[in-house]
Structure 1
């Protein structure tokens, strides 16, 4: 039996990303938001989700319990699900192809945390150029004897390569303009004119890697980008170059990066995303003095969290009467509308 759409029910597990999700959702009279506790049997959680038309899904793959990742198996248990919205810009916990096949719209909150992530990446670049991680390690070890052994570099006038020029990459280009940087961008989804309008010069990835003093990753994890920055790609980078990633784990080959750092071919690395999150304390990259590390917190700011959570609530509100914004799978639009309208007719 189809569900009654007089109220569009949205379920979330345990906690919303931010209270602004609840306050924003309260402004949409057609939405009914339900908290689903995880301290109950799996069958009870599934039954509660099955009563919802929308699923507000955690975005971090290592935080969300596997049964609640949006997979074909979960979708089969939720036949009336219409919309899945990720907690953030990423959607690693959502099988987009499976959702499309099921007629389920997938929404992310792209752009909501762009400022936080861009500022984090820029901060990492500045700290690595000034060799702050190495200096701090030496001070803690009591081995500082000659400041000239820690001589740094300035960002002003340097060439920075941005891999991906979406919301975060475009904001990075704006911030780098303040330092008079030459900004190169590799993004196959954008033409040269669009990239120029965002403050960068379009190049292909091999050219970017060979020309940049700093390479910063801002692309999504896809079949094409998985493992893209491998040993061969790192080998194309300039001696002493710095690599920063605030994108997604698995784009960068961590073992290849470690080798390049140990051999002294790179000048440092800033890592906010990892293959395993958080990485174990024994991870060898964490012990390298030229590595600046954070546990996927670039976008974890008070402002970003509030903004992103409000965006998700607005997306569910929009889905009641039309297409939600920021569709990750726009090809699902007709099927989504047909399924939603069928539920509406059944409820009439």
Structure 2
């Protein structure tokens, strides 16, 4: 008799292609836990689960359901944790590796969507689109010249990180005849060039870029890396754009750089926490265009990550190496445990 393969997710919104794909597999039992129900019911599901498909939204998923050493200790059958997005902020990957549990994400599935919003933020800030919209709806007596902005065409764009999303941004930027610089310590100069940018050190990027756009992960090497010193090193009048993660940039230091006039504007999709408090200094500045971590939230991107997630889960349960494995060193141990649990 073939063992039933158990997949658990919670009842947060997901594109329906995920559930449909898994339920098309006769040997997979998909269970959906109710976050508004008793914790005991969710714990019981996780205790039996072979795969936990978890929301990557760190400020939306209650902390007790983040994947930590403590949670893993209560999940003896768990083979893999699957993030429902490109990031995995709710998953302690090192803890999973210690427990012999694979971690997979859906990196690249929302790259085009994030890249488009990054370009959109550049345009909105540089051309004062949101300021114009607010004034036209609420006031009269202002001139068109008071809303005069700048073209992004021909500007120098500095990308901090040129992975899946950064590469997509570089491609779009070429359509505006922008000079694209990139700093990415994880890639060779040759690879950065192949992805459509001129490789530079971080200091040169900050000094020469008219627009700095962040596309790096949040980890111990990037947390707080855009602080007062980094903003001071940027070109006077430059724009700061981020669709990366809240916590990479210091919000108070950014507000000061904008208030002082050193920076001309910012487009911010990510915050710490999310959403930011209404009294946030950044939200009070007209030079800031603010969005609610929606860069990757499009119908196309959400369908991609749901479809990719389902396919990776099916592959893992069948012993196939997943294409977006965060901790590949654990895979041999996962295969051994899979053989014991599922035969």
Using structure 2 for the length normalisation, give the TM-score: 0.96
User: Which residues of structure 1 form unaligned runs of 5+?
Assistant: none
| Structure 2 counterpart of 1:198 | 195
Is contact 1:323–1:337 with CA below 8 Å preserved after alignment?
no
Query: Residue 294 of structure 1 aligns with which residue?
Result: 291
1:137 CA drift (Å): 4.0
Matches within 5 A, 1:34-45: 34-45=31-42
Q: Which residue of 1 aligns with 2:337?
A: 339
Take 2:246 and 2:96, find their aligned partners in 1: how far apart are those partners? Answer: 23
- 1:323 and 2:312 are equivalent in the alignment: no
Tell me which residue corresponds to 1:94. 91
- Structure 1 80/144 Cα, relative in aligned 2: closer, same or farther at 3 Å? farther
- Aligned residue in 2 for 1:210: 207
CA distance in 1, matches of 2:92, 2:220: 12
Structure 2 CA distance for aligned equivalents of residues 174 and 223 of structure 1: 29
Mark the runs of 5 or more structure 2 residues left unpaired by the alignment. Answer: none
Q: Among residues 182, 185, 206, which one is paired with 1:185 in the alignment?
A: 182
Assess if the C-alpha contact under 8 Å between 2:5 and 2:342 holds in 1.
Answer: no
Task: Map 1:10-25 to 2 at 5 A.
Answer: 10-25=7-22
Q: Report the number of matched residues.
A: 342
| Residues 143, 254 of structure 1: alpha-carbon distance in 2 compared, 3 angstrom cutoff | farther
Render the CA deviation track for 1:43-86: whole Å, top value 9, x for unaligned. 22101111110001011011111111101110011011111011
Per-residue CA deviation, residues 11-60 of structure 1 (Å, 9 max, x unaligned), is 00114511010122234343221111223321221011111100010110
Secondary structure class of the residue paired with 1:266: coil
Partner of 2:275: 278
In 2, the alpha carbon distance for the partners of 1:309 and 1:132 equals: 33
Give secondary structure in 2 for the equivalent of 1:314: helix
After TM superposition, the structure 1 stretch with the greater mean CA deviation from structure 2, 88-97 or 138-147, is 138-147
- Which residue does 1:57 correspond to in 2? 54
Find the counterpart in structure 2 of residue 255 from structure 1: 252
Closer, same or farther: CA 330–110 of 1 in aligned 2, 3 Å: same
Aligned with residue 161 of structure 1, among 133, 158, 161: 158
Cα distance in 2 between the residues matched to 1:271 and 1:294 = 6
Q: Normalised by the size of structure 1, how large is the TM-score?
A: 0.95
- C-alpha RMSD of the superposition: 1.5
Determine which of 311, 316, 323 is the counterpart of 1:314. Answer: 311
CA distance in 1, matches of 2:238, 2:145: 19
* Partners of 1:30 and 1:317 within 8 A in 2: no
Question: Counterpart of 2:294 in 1: which secondary structure?
Answer: coil
Could you tell me how far apart the structure 1 residues matched to 2:188 and 2:2 are? 42
Distance in structure 2 (CA, Å) of the matches to 1:212 and 1:324: 38
